């Protein structure tokens, strides 16, 4: 599993959140999970991927990463909230699987 992206907020909560994720990976011996951090070659990562999951806990205002995954024809899981409602309207008939809303 590749986890691309990084927490870009210069905030102690962001650092603690990232450390928590790293601890869960280590404690559960998830040796096939890789935190890639920020990448400017996301197109290459999408080409290597079979499934894309976007487990946003907050409302995503634009959903650009989700649209990129869909444009690459990937099976994509995402919540139908925020700007992603519009993405769903456009790609709703495609190969889309939605995460359950909270």
Domain annotation covers residue 45? no
**Is 23 in the same domain as 56?**
no
Question: What distance in Å separates the CA atoms of residue 35 and residue 38, rounded to the nearest whole number?
Answer: 9
Asked, for residue 11, whether it belongs to a domain, the answer is: yes
Of 20 and 99, the structure prediction assigns the larger pLDDT to: 20
Q: Do residues 58 and 102 both lie within one domain?
A: yes
Domain extent for 69: 50-102
Same domain, 32 and 4: yes
Per residue in 27-81, pLDDT (tens digit) is 999 999 998 888 889 899 999 999 998 877 777 777 788 888 988 888 888 888 7
62 and 100 together in one domain: yes
Residue 44 within a domain: no
Q: Are residues 88 and 58 in the same domain?
A: yes
Count how many domains the chain has.
2
Q: For residue 102, what pLDDT is reported?
A: 45
Q: What pLDDT is stored for residue 98 in this prediction?
A: 55
The pTM of the full predicted model, rounded to 2 decimals, is 0.69
Output the six-digit token pair for 57: 């806990």
Same domain? For 25 and 59 the reply is no
Q: Are residues 32 and 80 in the same domain?
A: no
């Amino acid at each position: 599993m590749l986890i691309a992206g990084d927490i870009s907020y210069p905030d102690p909560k962001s650092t603690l959140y990232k450390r928590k994720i790293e601890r869960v990976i280590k404690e559960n011996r998830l040796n096939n999970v890789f935190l890639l951090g920020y990448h400017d070659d996301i197109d290459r990562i999408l080409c290597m991927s079979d499934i894309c999951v976007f487990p946003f806990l907050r409302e995503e205002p634009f959903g650009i990463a989700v649209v990129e995954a869909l444009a690459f024809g990937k099976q994509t899981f995402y919540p139908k909230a925020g700007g992603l409602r519009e993405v769903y309207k456009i790609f709703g008939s495609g190969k889309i699987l939605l995460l359950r809303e909270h």
